[in-house]
Amino acid sequence: MLRSTARRAPLVATCAWILTANTQCAPRVAAPDATPDAGSFVDAHDAFVDDAESNDVVTDVVPERPTYTEHVRPLLARACVQCHVEGELAPMALDRYDRVAPIAATIARATRARTMPPFPVDNSGACNTFRSVVTLTDNEIALLERWHQQGAPEGDPSIAPPQPATPERLRGTVHEIASPVAYTPDRSRPDDYRCFVVDAPIASGPYFVTGFDVLPDQRRQVHHVIVYHPQNDAEATRARALDDAADGPGYTCFGAAGVTASAVAAWAPGGGATHYPSGTGVQLQGGRPLVLQLHYNTMAGVAADRTRVQLEVRTDGVTPGRYIPMVDLALSLPPRTTTATAGATLRLADRTNIRTPLRVLGVFPHMHTLGRTLRLEVVRNDGSRQCIVDVPRWDFHWQRLYFHERPVRLDPTETLDIRCTYDTSSRDTQTVWGEGTADEMCVAGVFVSL
Ligand code: HEC
C-alpha cells in the first residue's frame, strides 16, 4: 500500500527550495556552503554566444490556400510530431495526411486555445525566448484554422518533405540513474508521483551536471521527470528513510522531493537531450544520493516502469552555476476565488554573499494544480522592470527547465520579484505552502552564473 499524498509533509520539508534565501529554513542550511565560490567563476560575460536552436517562424504571411504538404506538414513536424507519433505519449499520431485531415477541426481548436503545443511559458519574445521551446505564432495558428476552413486539402504529395532536425545528444561522460527495480504505478489515482533515491553518479568530491536526457520505459505513462539534489547529507538520509518506510520501491511525493532539495534536471516528453547553456553546469556533491521524481499518468496504463535518466557529468572545465530559489513560504490563499495571489521579493546583496553581477541563464517555474500564472522580474535600481520569465497558462503536467536564448543580467543590488496567481474556486478552506496535493507553491529556481 502506498502512502497518502494528502498527508501533510513535516515542516522542514516545506523548505525544499531554500538555500540561503529564507530565514525560516536557515537553521538547516549552512550559508557558506550554499554560496558559490566567486573566485572559481570564469568571467565569460562577453564570451556568451549561445548555440541555441532557433524557433523559426514558418510563415510571415498566412497563405491564401494552405495545403497539408506545403504548409501544414512542416509545421506539425516542427511543433507536434515529437510527441504525436506512434509509441509516444500523445494520443494520436500527426505524421500522415490521412491521420491529420480528419481531425483538422480539433487541431485548429487546440492550437487556437494554445493548449497545444503544451509548453506553458511565453516564448513570443515579449519576455525573452527560450531554448528548445516550441510555440506557434499567431500566423501559424491562423494558417491551421484557414486550412481546416477550406476542407483540409492535401496539395501535391510529391513535394519532398523537409529533412528532420538531428536531435541533440549528450557528450562526454554520461552516467545513467534509475530506480533499483521496476515500479508499478498505483492505479487508484490518475496521477501517481513517485520518488526514488538513487546512488550518486560520482562517489566523492564536487562534480557538475552539464546536461541530461530521459529514456522513458513506458512512454505512454511517464509524464514528467525531475531529478533533485538533496541540500545536505542529512536531507539525503531523510530521503532514504522515506524510501525505507514506504512499501515497494520509492515513496509517494507530489510537489517536490519530500526533503530539502533543489532541481538539477526537469524533463517533459518531447524535451529531448538538454545541455546547460554555454559551458555551465550545476554543482553537486559526490556520494550524496539523488532523488528521482517520476510522474505517471495511470490513465494511460500501469505497466511496471523503470525509466532511466542520463546525466552528463564533468569534474572540471565547467563554468559553475547555481540555483537561486525565489519562493513565497508565507503563501496563504483564500478559498473560492479566481484571483488569489502570492509573491516574494529578494535583493541578493541582502540575503547572500553574492557581490558581483550575474547572468540569469535559465529558470524552473513551479506551482501546483491551482496555479494559473507566474511571472518573475528584475526590478532595476532605477525602478524599471525587466521580465525573466512569464508563464501565462501554468500547467502542472508540463514542468521543465527553461534556458534563455539570451542571458539576463542581474546585479546583486537589484531585486528579484516573483508573482503567482491561483484559482481556488474548488477549495473551501485556506490553501497554504507545502508539498502535498492540497498545498500550493510559488517558486522559481533561477539558474545563474557569473
Ligand atoms: C510535448 C508533447 C506534445 C507536443 C509538442 C504536442 N502535443 Fe498535442 N498532446 C500531447 C498530449 C500528452 C496530449 C494528451 C492530452 C494531454 O495530456 O494534455 C495531447 C493532446 C492533443 C490533442 C487532443 C486534445 C485537445 O486539446 O483537443 C490535440 C488536438 C493535439 N494534442 C494537437 C497537437 C498539435 C496540433 C500540436 C502541435 C502544434 C501538438 N499537439 C503538440 C502532447 C503534445
Domains and CATH numbers, the chain: 11-50+170-449 (2.60.120.230), 68-149 (no CATH)
The pLDDT of residue 359: 96
Q: Distance from the CA of 295 to the center of ligand 1, in angstroms? A: 18
Q: Output the CA torsion sign for 282, 285, 291, 292.
A: positive
* Three-state DSSP state, 399: coil
Whether 40 shows a pLDDT value over 50: the answer reads: no
| All three cell numbers of 140 | 501559424
- Using pLDDT thresholds of 50, 70 and 90, give the confidence band for residue 387: very high
Q: Measured from the CB, is residue 89 less than 6 Å from ligand 1?
A: yes
By C-alpha distance, which of 292, 289, 315 is closest to 231? 289
CA distance 370 to 183: 28
**Minimal-distance CA residue to ligand 1 atom 24:** 110
C-alpha of residue 83 to centroid of ligand 1, in Å:
7
Q: Separation of 363 CA from ligand 1 center, angstroms?
A: 24
Handedness of CA 202, 206, 210, 214 (dihedral sign): positive
Indicate the residue type of 57: V
The position carrying cell 518533405 is 161
pLDDT band for position 312 (cuts 50, 70, 90): very high
User: Does 107 contact ligand 1 (Cβ within 6 A)?
Assistant: yes
- Backbone angle region of 437, left / alpha / beta, with phi > 0 → left and psi within -120 to 50 → alpha: alpha
Q: Count of alpha carbons within 13 Å of 326, Cβ hemisphere only?
A: 33
CB 225 within 8 A of CB 307: yes
> Which atom of ligand 1 lies closest to the CA of 117?
41
pTM of the model as a whole: 0.81
Top mean pLDDT of 22-31, 83-92, 236-245, 318-327 is at 236-245
> Region 319-336: what's the mean pLDDT?
94
* Stronger pLDDT, 370 or 14, i.e. the higher one: 370
Grid coordinates belonging to 160: 519532398
Q: Is 113 in the pocket of ligand 1 (CB under 6 A)?
A: no
Q: Whose CA is nearest to atom 20 of ligand 1?
A: 90
The pLDDT confidence band at residue 427, using thresholds 50, 70 and 90, is very high
CB of 83 shorter than 6 A to ligand 1: yes
110 lines ligand 1 (CB under 6 A): yes
DSSP for residue 417: E
pLDDT at position 370: 97
Three-state DSSP state, 206? strand
Query: Which of 81, 112, 116 to probe ligand 1 with, by most ligand atoms within 8 A of CB?
Result: 116
Nearest-CA residue for ligand 1 atom 11 is 90
- Given a cut of 50, whether residue 47 has pLDDT beyond it is no
For ligand 1, say whether the CB of 79 is within 6 Å of any of its atoms: yes
The residues, any chain, with a CB within 8 Å of residue 315's CB and separated by 6 or more, are 202, 205, 206, 207, 208
What percentage of residues in the chain have a pLDDT greater than 90? 66
Nearest residue (CA) to ligand 1, atom 19: 90
Is the distance from the beta carbon of residue 178 to the nearest atom of ligand 1 less than 6 Å? Answer: no
Handedness of CA 245, 369, 389, 168 (dihedral sign): positive
pLDDT computed for residue 163 by the predictor:
67
Q: Between these two residues, 148 and 44, which has the higher pLDDT value?
A: 148
Q: Which of 93, 76, 77, 97 is nearest to 157 (CA)?
A: 97
CB 117 within 8 A of CB 381: no
266 C-beta closer than 6 A to ligand 1: no
Mean pLDDT on 350-364: 91
Q: What values do phi and psi take at 9, rounded to 5?
A: -70, 150
Closest Cα to atom 13 of ligand 1: 90
Q: Ligand 1: which residue has its CA nearest to atom 42?
A: 90
Q: Using CA atoms of 392, 393, 394, 398 in order, give the dihedral in degrees to the nearest 10.
A: -120
Separation of CA 213 and ligand 1 centre (Å): 21
Give the pLDDT band (50/70/90) at residue 59. Answer: low
pLDDT at res. 373 = 98
pLDDT of residue 49 exceeding 60, the answer is no
Task: Identify the DSSP state of 293.
Answer: E
Is 108 touching ligand 1 by the criterion CB < 6 Å?
no
**Does ligand 1 come within 6 angstroms of the Cβ of 74?**
no
- Asked whether the predicted pLDDT for residue 8 surpasses 60, the reply is no
Instruction: Work out which ligand 1 atom sits closest to the CA atom of 271.
Output: 1
Q: What is the pLDDT of residue 133?
A: 84
* 118 CA distance to ligand 1 middle (Å): 7
Say if residue 36's pLDDT is above 70.
Answer: no
pLDDT of residue 82: 85
Protein residue closest via CA to atom 14 of ligand 1:
90
- Partners of 313 in beta bridges: 209
Strand partners, 128: 125, 126
